[in-house]
Amino acid sequence: MSRTQRTYASPTANFTVIEGGKPRSGELPEVSLRRGGVDLPFLILTLVVLTIGVIMVLSASFARAYYTTGDPMKYFMRQLIFAVLGVFVMMVVSRLPVSLFRRFSLHLMVLAIALLLLVPFIGVEENGAKRWIDLGFTTFQPSEIAKLAEVLFFATMICAFKDKMKTFKYGVLPFAVTVIIIVGLLILEPHLSASVIIIGIAAIMMFAGGTRLRWFILAALLVAVVGYLTVSKLGYAGARITAWRNPEADPGDTGYQIMQSLYAIGSGGLMGLGLGHGRQKYLYLPMEHNDYIFSVVCEELGFVGAVLILLLFALLIVRGFWLALHAKDRFSSLVVTGLTGLLALQVFLNVAVVTNLLPSTGISLPFFSYGGTALLIQMAEMGIILSISRDIPITKAG
DSSP string, 11-75: SS-EEEEEEESSPPTT-PPP---------HHHHHHHHHHHHHHHHHHHHHHHHHHHHHHS-TTHH
DSSP helix/strand/coil, 392: coil
- Provide the Cα torsion 130, 136, 137, 143; round to 10°: -30
The reported pLDDT for the residue numbered 128 is: 67
The reported pLDDT for the residue numbered 230 is: 64
Distance of CA 109 to the CA centre of its chain: 16
The reported pLDDT for the residue numbered 10 is: 44
DSSP helix/strand/coil, 1: coil
pTM of the model: 0.86
Distance of CA 17 to the CA centre of its chain: 36
Helix H, strand E, coil C: the string for 215-283 is HHHHHHHHHHHHHHHHHHHCHHHHHHHHHHHCHHHCCCCCCHHHHHHHHHHHHHCCCCCCCCCCCCCCC
The reported pLDDT for the residue numbered 340 is: 98
The reported pLDDT for the residue numbered 120 is: 85
Q: Which of 239, 230, 245, 236 is nearest to 187 (CA)?
A: 230
321 HSE (CA, 13 A, CB side): 12
pLDDT digits (tens, 9 = 90+) for 124-135: 877 667 788 887
Distance CA 262, CA 290 (A): 16
pLDDT digits (tens, 9 = 90+) for 48-73: 999 999 999 999 999 999 999 999 99
The reported pLDDT for the residue numbered 254 is: 73
DSSP bridge pairs for 19: 4
Sorted by sequence, the CB contacts under 8 Å of residue 59 that are 6+ apart come out as 275, 276, 278, 281, 296, 300
CB-based contact 42:319 (threshold 8 Å): yes
Residue 3 has what DSSP assignment? E
The reported pLDDT for the residue numbered 358 is: 84
Which residues, given as ranges, of the chain have pLDDT below 70?
1-34, 127-128, 227, 230-240, 242, 249, 252, 393-398
pLDDT digits (tens, 9 = 90+) for 314-372: 999 999 999 999 999 999 999 999 999 999 999 999 999 999 888 877 789 999 999 88
* Amino acid in the structure at residue 51: T
The reported pLDDT for the residue numbered 134 is: 80
CB-based contact 8:398 (threshold 8 Å): yes
Q: Which of 96, 19, 103, 105 is nearest to 391 (CA)?
A: 96
